[in-house]
Amino acid sequence: MHTKRRVLRAKRNTKPSSMKLIVTTPTAIVLDEGSVRLVRAEDPSGAFGVEAGHADFLTTLSICVVRWHSGGDDAEHYIAVRGGVLRVREGKVVAIATREAVINDDLEHLRKEVLSRMTENLEAERSARSGIISLENAAIKQIYRYLRPSDGPLKAEPPK
């Protein structure tokens, strides 16, 4: 009985030496790294780090550059993410789900590439949003005309 307790206690207290880092977008698995020692990212409250053995954790990421150190080498690696969700499971797996991710070990090149991509996407989103708003307004007008064909246009009465 005591031996079983010691084994369970030892399992709880042993810290895994590495983690798995997975970064996914809606269309692809961008990164699947097996032996990661440290992951650094940024959420709305600021920057944070995750090491092997970290408690379960869930947060939303800001647009940021995620940094990690692999177990095999001491080099720092980078991936830019456009927001997303970061989840730590059992201190062994760090999973990031994001709309867009760009991976590159050259931080300067990554910043340039990410900035240009973000600008392009921002313009496309603005254009799409304005088109959607126009369509919604036209649909609301048509629904109103259909539901109240005999009513004239609404007029505001002057205050008395």
CB-based contacts of 67, cutoff 8 Å, min separation 6 = 39, 40, 41, 76, 77, 78
Domain that includes residue 22, residue range: 2-105
Would residue 63 count as lying in a domain? yes
Q: Are residues 93 and 114 in the same domain?
A: no
Q: Are residues 21 and 68 in the same domain?
A: yes
- Predicted confidence band at 158 (pLDDT cuts at 50, 70, 90)? low
Residue type, 19: M
Would residue 135 count as lying in a domain? yes
How far are the Cα atoms of 120, 125, 126, 137 from residue 133, in angstroms, in the given order?
Answer: 20, 12, 11, 6
Q: Are residues 97 and 86 in the same domain?
A: yes
Q: Are residues 29 and 79 in the same domain?
A: yes
Q: Are residues 53 and 129 in the same domain?
A: no
**pLDDT at position 93:** 94
Cα separation, 12 vs 136, in Å, equals: 55
Dump strand ranges (E) for the chain: 19-24, 29-43, 46-51, 57-70, 76-89, 93-97, 101-103
Q: Are residues 93 and 141 in the same domain?
A: no
Q: Are residues 77 and 131 in the same domain?
A: no
Q: Are residues 16 and 83 in the same domain?
A: yes
Per-residue pLDDT tens for 1-16?
555 555 445 455 555 5
Q: Are residues 77 and 121 in the same domain?
A: no
Q: Are residues 42 and 118 in the same domain?
A: no
Cα separation, 81 vs 63, in Å, equals: 6
Least confident window among 1-10, 27-36, 52-61, 118-127: 1-10
- Averaged confidence pLDDT in the chain: 82
Per-residue pLDDT tens for 42-63?
999 999 999 988 999 999 998 8
